Structure 1
Amino acid sequence: MKKLALFAAVFIMDVEAEMAKNLTSPIANIMVTETTNSQHSIQNLSPYTTSFEINGELITLKPSTGVSLDCKFFSELELIVKNVEHDYFVVPCQSKVVLQPTFKIKYKG
C-alpha cells in the first residue's frame, strides 16, 4: 500500500473553482462537502487540536490549520476522529472536511 502524500497547509477557501455538494457527517459541527478537486482536504476551524487517522495514517491538526491528500490512489477515505464519541465515517476522497468553530471534542467515557 502506498503512503498518502500529506501536505500541511493553512487553507484559503476558493469556492469559484469547485462545484460542491454537501454531504452528511455523523459528527456534530463537522461539515463535509463533495468536490471535483483531485485533492481531499481537512480544515480545522475549531479551537481544539484534533487528531485523525486517515487510511491508517495519524494526522494532528492544530487550530486554523489543514491538510490535503492526493486522491490518485483512493476513491474513499476512512476518517477516524480521535477522542470523540462517534469517531468513524467514510467520505469520498474528492471532498472537503471542515471542523467548524463550534466543533467540540467529546471524550469517550
Structure 2
Amino acid sequence: MRAADPASATERAFAEVARLEAEVPASDFDLDAALKRVEPATEPEALARIRFAVSGGTRLTWEELATLLDPAHPACDTWDFVRIATEVLDADRVASADLLPPGSAAEWRGFRTA
C-alpha cells in the first residue's frame, strides 16, 4: 500500500463529511427542541401524553407512540422521532429472551430456549 498524502486525505475526508451532511441533515438530539419541532405533526392531546411519558409517567409501547406521533408524517423528522422514542418507549417486552446466561452450572444445564 502506498501512503496517502495527508493533505489530500484530509480534503477527501472533509468532502465526504460535507456530502453526508447534505444527504442526512444534522440533528441536535435536544429532547425539548424535538418535542417542539413535532408539534405540527401531532394533536395537542397526543403531545401531552408523550410529554407525560417523557417526564416519568407511564411509558409507551411502539404502537402507542406511532399512534400518537406518526413517524411518516412530513413534519416529523426521523431523528426527532428516534430521540423522542428513546425517552418514552417501554424497553421491557413480554417473554423476551434473557440476554445473560444462568448464573450457576445447575441453572445452565436446565436452561432451555423456547
Q: What's the TM-score bracket when you normalise by the shorter of the two chains? A: under 0.3
TM-score when normalising by structure 1: 0.27
Give 1 or 2 for the bigger CA radius of gyration. 2
TM-score when normalising by structure 2: 0.26
Higher relative contact order (CA 8 A, sep 6+): 1
